Chain A
């Protein structure tokens, strides 16, 4: 017997939906993606949208952005916040950044924040298509290179300082001088952050521990993306475990998520002594208080508040911004872009040394990007007697000599 099964009804539904659409019975509530002119109520309520690469509760990079947006809503009256998170090829294989941006604009967003280096092209394409909407591409440099339309700004924090502090904390605490860095993907940003960590660690290893730089092992393993994408990246859990099995006793995280500290905590419970330095988000130590040496974090709130107000007032102009900490109080939630919270596992003695280190960075008496600095292949990064300028640091080409790990993908 030949039975036609679900195919007839399926055809029916397809046709029905076509007919319904054709008859104009389009549901009124459906958001439209067509280009919109500014809604009339924009003078009263200002909507800004955010496209996030990961989930808003990842305990890392994305949560920092999300909480910054909440900070803006709290501090600026009449502002509404909408977002789409997990925009990445693994979580949403069929959604492109442009599509997500268009949906947000369709829902009335006048300012769009995109928070991943991966979003550079999509942000530019959408910005060109919507010249009346403002865009902040966080962590990008297309304004600097001149490829971005005029309604785009770039914003990034000088995490280099945070990473130097992190490296120092690690070097102060390590028992065997073996530090491991859980790296995301390889690009100029991650290279300069790894280098900063190494510089901080080497300085404190030499100056506070009084040991030779040769005795410091510093290894990077890149997982391949900002967080674990099963099947695409290395599994950060496995990588962290492998660090521990190979005897590294501090795991510094450079990825968006918290596998490093979780595994260090597990290993410590299992009788080993492994410390961790998470990344990105102020509250990240909560994943393993006992092993947390502290966390360098982003505090996007103040800058987003400033830019939202700027966009609202229409005083927008393209800019590439690279904001540093407020050195008078790096943990001030209203002024400092970059902060460092000390963790419970950092001993009081080391905490004091770390404070001393931070003070040196703050007063400018210590600049770790001072030559001579060499790349892994022996070529010169910063010549002797010179100090690297922003552009040299931003476009770091390789990892520094002394670091074990890949420099280029």
Chain B
């Protein structure tokens, strides 16, 4: 167990280093000059050069790489040229917003996709199943960015039900920052209205992420449930005179969890990707938007940091899932591949 954990951790580290190396070199291939951006549009060439030197952008690539990696080992993610702050400081600022969005979306996704899958799997081939299948299929084809815009159009622009973007009503004062999660902070501040307001702001971005995840996730969960239904132990359960509901909830569900878990892990990867688009569209002040804006001006460090942070998140999720498998399925000795 310990050995397994250790192995996975080492592997996670390898992945992280790889992503750092890859993104570092990729970002330096770009034919753009962030120093020029920093210096401003009317700055003289000397000023630009001075800034290049200040930020070490004039040094040879291997040297820049070495110092970046050394910094990384110390937890230093470099400095953002655009925000003129250390990336770690920025991340501390932006990460909670993203995490809040991700967690809410994920919980929502899990709940809804699971219920839909169960609903569909109760009568495979039935009308409910057909409808769900169609919806999920269409859902997988909806481009996330387009969906976000369309939801904005209807729910903000046409119906005035939900806000356009951002995390909190503009004119109101947000609760004091404790955790960075507005939902939590507003409760800590004892303000139900603030909680509801943050929830309202979360609705569209989360819905946008969820629809796509949901589609893929429900399909996979449904397939897993239906596949389990044809297993022989289900026949045995029927032979014992169990009701279909009991068979579904007590027998099938538990067995279908492993494939669903695998699907879920995969989904998490997509979610990290979609979050960039969603944050851009909804002006959600998280790391996706942060990295995207930095990326627009070829401010490298935040982009690399995003890659590293999201990869780390992904590695952790994978690890958690690996640890969950044996809990769910006693046949799996924790010997992941």
A binds B: no
Residues on B lying within 8 angstroms of A by beta carbon are none
